[in-house]
Amino acid sequence: MKPLRVLYIGGTGRTGSTMVDQLLGQFPPYFSGGEMAFFWSRGIEANAICACGDAVRDCPVWSHAIASITEDPDQLAARMVALRKLFRWPHIFAMWVPGFSRARLREIHDIPANAERIYNDVAAEQNVEVFIDSSKEPHYSYILREGSELDLRFLHLVRDPRAVGSSWKRRRAEAGLNSGEFMEQRSSPIASAFYMFSNIVSELFWRSKPDRYAFLRYEDFVADPAHILEVIGDFAGTPIVADAVLDGLSFPIGTMHTSWGNPSRVGRTSITIRQDDAWRTELSRCDMIMLTVLNLPLLLHYGYPIRPSGSRRSTLRSSRLRRADLSKR
């Protein structure tokens, strides 16, 4: 049996990944599982609300997947959460130390092994060819790639760092929990540190696999969603015919089962594809300067203008999925 293809949306948070993820999930046999890196902590331990409206443990899709595991789900979730603590941001650079990487991957092998079981169960039950995991965290994609038989393909999604920084400043309630929690907020310096780190690490982890890595700017996706969806389909190995998806139009979405992610995933019935340029007026002058200066290397690398009113560099290299270009680096 061929290994399941997993389209991993990676990079950093607040890049418009929820919209890309949800749209892709409208084209079966694509299936959007949400941010699966948090399946054990949010999905099982906190029993968060799935996008279908049921709690994850009651959702017909996830309850079946959980039942397919022979171990007690509470004990397993606690073990998975504990293992994740062995591979967090501070450990990432140690992965290039000879010997450490292999030893640590052996230690946390249960993480990719159990993720693979869950993905495969959903795939078998829902006739899925491409499972979409929008976890973003590049180090989690590395664990999955190195510790499972999954056919992982990394879609590196980026967005103008000032739009990302502006989104991190907004105060929004979590929709998937009953505890009244709010989404994490980050100051401009912290958001910039994560932006630089996550995106650089994404490229470092995947530069050795150019045929399984694709790069996409959110702004280019929004400018021509039908075309980009079709190119993503080519990259993921299952064609997508998306001529009904157009910039500025609402696209109806059916019942989804994203287990965790942005609160906007819950109860949504349609998606309006738009650039969302509110950051241009929402950011203070101080934040605008900080986000521009602190992210300058990647801002230029990804073809964004230094002046917010400028236009993006619109070359083939930076404006489309460009795995072919990246393979030449």
Residue ranges that bind Zn ion, judged by CB under 5 A? 50, 52, 59, 257
- Alpha carbon distance 165, 229 (integer Å): 26
- Alpha carbon distance 175, 317 (integer Å): 38
| Least Cβ distance, residue 112 to Zn ion (angstroms) | 23
| Least Cβ distance, residue 302 to Zn ion (angstroms) | 34
- Report the residue number, 60 or 189, with the smaller CB distance to Zn ion: 60
| Least Cβ distance, residue 255 to Zn ion (angstroms) | 8
| Least Cβ distance, residue 115 to Zn ion (angstroms) | 18
Q: Please say whether the beta carbons of 211 and 236 come within 8 A.
A: no
Q: Please say whether the beta carbons of 35 and 132 come within 8 A.
A: no
Q: Which phi and psi (to 5°) does residue 155 adopt?
A: -95, 105
- Report the residue number, 58 or 149, with the smaller CB distance to Zn ion: 58
- Alpha carbon distance 217, 157 (integer Å): 6
DSSP SS3 for 110:
helix
- Report the residue number, 164 or 266, with the smaller CB distance to Zn ion: 266
- Report the residue number, 33 or 233, with the smaller CB distance to Zn ion: 33
- Report the residue number, 52 or 92, with the smaller CB distance to Zn ion: 52
Q: Which residues are CB-contacts of 6 (< 8 A; sequence separation ≥ 6)?
A: 119, 130, 131, 132, 133, 144, 150, 151, 152, 153
* Maximum separation of any 2 CA atoms in the chain, in Å: 56
- Report the residue number, 186 or 257, with the smaller CB distance to Zn ion: 257
- Report the residue number, 75 or 269, with the smaller CB distance to Zn ion: 269
What stretches of 57-99 show up as alpha helix (H) in DSSP?
60-67, 73-84
| Least Cβ distance, residue 126 to Zn ion (angstroms) | 11
- Report the residue number, 131 or 205, with the smaller CB distance to Zn ion: 131
| Least Cβ distance, residue 294 to Zn ion (angstroms) | 39
Q: Which residues are CB-contacts of 252 (< 8 A; sequence separation ≥ 6)?
A: 269, 270
Cross-strand bridge partners of residue 214: 155
- Alpha carbon distance 110, 122 (integer Å): 18
- Report the residue number, 32 or 295, with the smaller CB distance to Zn ion: 32
- Alpha carbon distance 176, 15 (integer Å): 20
DSSP codes, 238-286: S----TT--TTSEEE-------SS-GGGTT--EEE-----THHHHS-HH
Tokens of 18: 């929820």
Which single residue is written with the structure tokens 């607040």? 14
| Least Cβ distance, residue 240 to Zn ion (angstroms) | 22
| Least Cβ distance, residue 207 to Zn ion (angstroms) | 36
| Least Cβ distance, residue 50 to Zn ion (angstroms) | 3
